[in-house]
Structure 1
């Protein structure tokens, strides 16, 4: 139960108090696999620190200690955690797992923040060489090379069992499923939820929808996520939706012009969440360093703060290997990333300075959850105390 002081703080800060978790997506653990028709998945497993890396501890330090962020989404590849030779399931590459756990423990134990585990695989497995399209759709029974829904559940049961005693770990079931039946996305999600709960883990789960889990697309098309995703069952009622929403013309995050207003394109999703009394995180969104995007990014964060259905967010993206490259929203210009210290290719300030510090940092709530388990109900909101 919140203290009287915390409740008063919630009232004084208004709707922004509905955001319990705010931070960045850490992209880098999925790097280092290259397209090759002769050898699909060339670059696996890769060399840690050379081909891929989960976080830069110094960057996390800045985001926590100076920027007071309490949430990091940490990407990894299924094919590194579960080598293709042994298949998706409960058999892990233990060296790789230990490296991943080191990153998660640094965020959650050393820094006291929350971490979303992010298998960055688009609901596909066995060939990440040309993501987001390569690999077999998990659960596709017409593809003899595809991992099964049961194997996806086995994987999540094993991973969840290893983190069940860390209440600051959030299980993000899958990054951006697409081009598959929405019913299969639900089936895979449910297998994962069932396996996670079978371990005794009560950690927060965030589950995706179809169509790149786009908020704008949630209720659209002939096979929308909205038609089936409410049917999931969680015996401990601690599952939220994982939503992505970019602001450019095609919602891809590839363009520097922001034209798709969140209050317009998230409206149907928000009503759907209200109808089914569900909560959501927006774990990918971003924009370029221009006036139009600054205004629309502000609108995005304010929209989440004004609607209690949204309880957390991570902006795309920080990470140790971006260099001058941009994770999104720059029409392929090399303007850097949200990693502290990032610079553009010409040496000018990168997106960390021009987008994060100038636009997003002032919108980070001064009160966030810093203790206790992550939950759809949130927790006690307090100021960062170091």
Structure 2
């Protein structure tokens, strides 16, 4: 018998006592694996495949060390590009560039096996494939049958079946199905997500899956858009193991892009709709991208948002945007392109001043990392044993 996420979760919830709100997984998004392909002229194929550790990379082991050993986080979301894992000469599917896969696996193994933390696999492709030159808008929407250059839904499923099989023996790996789908039919998004979940479970993998919504997976937009609203679709996903959570992004600036210094969007107000939807459907969620600058308003809103996740049991994990070894003095979030550095430990702003790690992570986000997190066992929607790192 196959139940939808909401039906299966409701059945399970009926057998369990009520629990208090708990964050099991907390950490940072690692952004650099999607680097090295930008083209000012949107030239297809620009930067592919690229040179590892020259044009792009995944993580800095020393940065992971600091985050785990000193900052006591247990979760990293590690970006990669579909076009590098599955080169255009192969097409999207079960055939991988093994050299590239090995580089990626080395980073995931370092996080999960050497450091004992959890890792989210993050295909940073916006539900598109074949041209990352001007992401997030370039490339063909996966499954778009009217586009002869588009990868198919079946190919997306085949990709996830192969990737899941390769990590099925690592219970600390979480499968993030896709970063920020947008400007596509929600029915097509659902078809792609279901194909991926089906392939993951057919591979034998029991790992936690996290599924995005449409409209950039924005929490504020979850119930917006009429028939296309994510709230009308995503709870219908079927997972026979009932180990799928929801992947939400939420920035605090005026247009929810994470590009501006000024924080103008109250997170409690903007997350109310998706939180109510999660509660109604008895679902759990991660917020895998959020951030703000070091203005007074942003610091206040970041504190409010992190407290909100801690106080609402629908949220079981989060990763702040973003660290990564290739940001240098550039900022991944919330600075109007000012060079304030990133959340990467040791990074510096232009001119050698303090970075966002110094001005946002340490004084604000770090203080909200729970003392006790899950450090062992299968990642799941119900979490696991909480303990202090090293205890």
Q: What is the TM-score normalised by the length of structure 1?
A: 0.95
Aligned pair partner of 2:312 in 307, 315, 340: 307
What residue in structure 2 maps to residue 64 of structure 1? 68
**TM-superposed deviation, 1:42:** 1.1
What residue in structure 2 maps to residue 230 of structure 1? 235
What residue in structure 2 maps to residue 73 of structure 1? 77
What residue in structure 1 maps to residue 278 of structure 2? 273
Q: Is the alpha carbon distance of 1:36 and 1:348 closer, same or farther for their aligned partners in structure 2, counting shifts above 3 Å? A: closer
Aligned pair partner of 2:381 in 376, 379, 384: 376
The answer to whether the 8 A contact 1:34-1:129 is kept is yes
RMSD: 1.3
Matched, 1:96 2:100: yes
What residue in structure 1 maps to residue 115 of structure 2? 111
**TM-superposed deviation, 1:291:** 1.2
What residue in structure 1 maps to residue 90 of structure 2? 86
Aligned counterparts, 1:1-386, within 5 A: 18-35=22-39, 39-222=43-226, 223-385=228-390
User: Is the partner of 2:201 in helix, strand or coil?
Assistant: helix
**TM-superposed deviation, 1:53:** 0.3
Deviations 1:116-151 (A, max 9, x none): 000000000000000000000000010010000000
**TM-superposed deviation, 1:36:** 6.5
User: Is the partner of 1:170 in helix, strand or coil?
Assistant: strand
- Partner Cα distance (1:284, 1:250) in 2: 15
User: Is the partner of 1:346 in helix, strand or coil?
Assistant: helix
Q: Runs of 5+ in structure 1 lacking a partner?
A: 1-13
The answer to whether the 8 A contact 2:347-2:357 is kept is yes
The answer to whether the 8 A contact 1:317-1:327 is kept is yes
**TM-superposed deviation, 1:34:** 2.7
Deviations 1:16-70 (A, max 9, x none): x610000000000000003265841211000000000000000000000000000
Q: Runs of 5+ in structure 2 lacking a partner?
A: 1-18
> Which range is displaced more, 313-322 or 179-188?
179-188
Q: Is the alpha carbon distance of 1:94 and 1:276 closer, same or farther for their aligned partners in structure 2, counting shifts above 3 Å? A: same
Deviations 1:152-202 (A, max 9, x none): 000000000000000000000000000001111111000000000001100
**TM-superposed deviation, 1:206:** 0.1
User: Is the partner of 1:300 in helix, strand or coil?
Assistant: helix
Deviations 1:208-253 (A, max 9, x none): 0000000000001231101111110000000000000000011000
How many aligned residue pairs are there? 373
- Partner Cα distance (2:384, 2:179) in 1: 26
- Partner Cα distance (2:72, 2:42) in 1: 46
Q: Is the alpha carbon distance of 1:181 and 1:357 closer, same or farther for their aligned partners in structure 2, counting shifts above 3 Å? A: same
Q: What is the TM-score normalised by the length of structure 2?
A: 0.94
The answer to whether the 8 A contact 1:75-1:120 is kept is yes
Deviations 1:324-371 (A, max 9, x none): 000010111000000001111021111000000010001100000000
